[in-house]
Homo-oligomer: A and B are copies of this chain.
Amino acid sequence: MAQHKDNAREAILTAFQNLLIESRGTSASLDEVARRAGVTKGGLLYHFGSRRALEDALVDHLEAVAAEDFERMRTAPGGALAYYLPLRDYIDSPLDRATVSVGFLAHDHERARTLLAMMRSRYQELIAADVGDPLLARVALLLGDGLYYETLTTGAVPGDEVDIIDFVNRLRAAPPDAG
């Protein structure tokens, strides 16, 4: 019975997130967000005193969701790499939606930028601790970045993600000569 409160807040925040994703950062005006959440702009601005406050709340949300994900990744049975790379499980997850939507705020929201950067370095740390070989960890992270970048720019989930994961796993078993 703890979350019966602030239903309007959550509806507004969800509508904001969805609109940011669907419109690729445009058309997420307070009017549109309010309409989507089933309130008016006045009602929205009662819960979030300004657009900035609404954006801050979404960044807070991402921060919390990411912290949970770090903990799951750190304690994943198959290891951090096997947890990190499967993009298919990630795409459209609550963490993904929070990350992408905050990404659209980043250009004029410094805390959003620093949070996204912090998340990247945290993932790299966790993968490096799992894989051992720092270069392979770096390659795995960059491949994940590449897949993610591709998804961001094309708007479509790549179809060969499994092949990439398999490729990294083979490298892990038999790394190329260092000479």
Contacts and interface: CB of A to CB of B under 8 A. Distances in A.
Nearest to A150: B145
Contacts of A24: 107-108
A160 interface: yes
A153 interface: yes
Interface in A10-40: 23-26
A129 interface: no
Contacts of A154: 113, 116-117, 120
Q: DSSP majority for the A interface?
A: helix
Interface of A: 23-26, 103, 106-108, 113, 116-117, 120, 135, 138-139, 141-150, 153-155, 160, 163-164, 167, 170-171, 173-174, 176-178
29 contacts: A24-B108, A25-B107, A26-B107, A26-B108, A103-B153, A106-B153, A113-B153, A113-B155, A116-B153, A117-B154, A120-B153, A120-B154, A135-B167, A138-B160, A138-B164, A139-B143, A141-B146, A142-B146, A142-B147, A143-B143, A145-B145, A145-B146, A145-B149, A146-B146, A146-B149, A149-B149, A170-B178, A171-B176, A174-B176
